[in-house]
């Protein structure tokens, strides 16, 4: 029998524009980078949402930012969180 604390945690990443609007969510940063390829140049915030089987349900924190340059280059800038 699986106990609640033995359940898998899932991580979702959310892509947010400079106006604070959520544009997409995904299970990998690479997927968000693919979406960013279709968007205008700019700075996009990425939030990390981790689901928990415990009563709190989930935690959220800023993962960092993705920068899309005018030439189409995408740069990852993760925040310096401890692993």
Give the model confidence (pLDDT) of 21-72 as tens digits.
Answer: 999 999 999 999 999 999 999 999 999 998 866 666 778 889 999 999 999 9
User: Does the pLDDT value for residue 13 go beyond 60?
Assistant: yes
Closest by alpha carbon to 24, among 66, 79, 73?
66
pTM of the model: 0.79
CATH number belonging to domain 9-78 = 2.60.40
Whether 6 has a pLDDT exceeding 60, the answer reads: no
Q: Please give the structure tokens belonging to residue 51.
A: 């689901």
Of 18, 35, 38, nearest in space to 26 by CA: 35
| Domain residue limits, the chain | 9-78
């Amino acid at each position: 029998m699986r106990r609640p604390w033995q359940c898998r945690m899932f991580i979702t990443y959310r892509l947010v524009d400079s106006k604070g609007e959520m544009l997409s969510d995904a299970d990998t940063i690479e997927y968000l980078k693919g979406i960013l390829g279709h968007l205008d140049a700019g700075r996009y915030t990425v939030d990390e949402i981790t689901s928990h089987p415990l009563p709190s349900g989930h935690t959220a924190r800023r993962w960092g930012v993705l920068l899309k340059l005018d030439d189409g280059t995408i740069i990852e800038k993760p925040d310096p969180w401890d692993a």
